[in-house]
Amino acid sequence: MVIGADGEQLGVMAPADALTLAEEEGLDLVEVAANSRPPVCRIMDYGKYKYEQKKKAGKPAHSATLKEIKLRPAPAAFRPSVVAIGSSTGGPQALFKVLGDLGKLDAPIFITQHMPPTFTRILAEHIARSTGLTAAEGQDGEVVQPGRLYVAPGGKHLTVETKGVQKVIRLDDGPPENFCKPAVDPMLRSLIKAYGGNKVLCAILTGMGSDGAKGAEQLADAGGVVLAQDEATSVVWGMPGATAQRGAAHQLLPVGEIGGALKRFAAGGGR
């Protein structure tokens, strides 16, 4: 069941149609009742909704002043072998922008976007159509190929392991992390182990909660580079805000600059 932005019940529709409708209106598709059959999703401006909820509760609408942001200096001679991106609320639109600006790379790209099953497959198809990149949900046991983009399927954590000279995708059906499944943190931990932290380039985009912040800190400590989306262009400055406030980010950028920054770092000239 899909509920429109005005509260009207739009009826049961295919996930692709619901996601497309939300994109056309420039809004978010938010799952509000996952346990019902069929699941209930609502098309809404989630950032505005959270802002209004905070105002009602008498809480500050923004969190940038909670802690001074200190950015890390980028490591010298950094040349990544893999790119990882984490996102949640507002993520699809941010991903289309970032990936469109990034373009094709030799390195594989892994994305964890908080979405239920089926919607992640549709997201991968939309990414492929809008950017021209080769994109699909990652499959368990799939050998990682250069230049391909892999989306974590809803309901499974996407991880990568080394098998001989190859990197292989593993889908983890373990418990949620940070209340999310798929979650960004297990993806980042696995990439650090499989590639080495100093070979991983990461971007944490708009999203509620703090998923990805711990993994980003571990990655930065291991010599990788972390970019975080700024508050002004985030629908919800949860995930990137937590990453920045944790001191894990090397750059804090508006969404319109992240794709270009990723491209420069991927080419070895991002400092």
Q: Which of 28, 87, 114, 230 is catalytic?
A: 114
Active site includes 17? no
Q: How far apart are CA 20 and CA 202, in angstroms?
A: 27
pLDDT digits (tens, 9 = 90+) for 208-218: 999 999 999 99
CA atoms of 249 and 260, how far apart (whole Å): 16
Catalytic residue (choose from 211, 230, 234, 250): 211
User: Is residue 62 over pLDDT 50?
Assistant: no
Which residue, 138, 136, 119, 137, is CA-closest to 14?
Answer: 119
Is residue 133 within 8 A of residue 85, CB to CB? The reply is: no
140 annotated active-site: no
What's residue 68's pLDDT? 77
Q: For the residues 44-64, what does the mean pLDDT come to?
A: 52
Residue with token string 């909820």: 53
**pLDDT attached to residue 268:** 87
Known catalytic membership, residue 211: yes
Q: Which residue has the higher pLDDT, 61 or 249?
A: 249
Q: Among 81, 87, 88, 234, which one carries the catalytic annotation?
A: 88
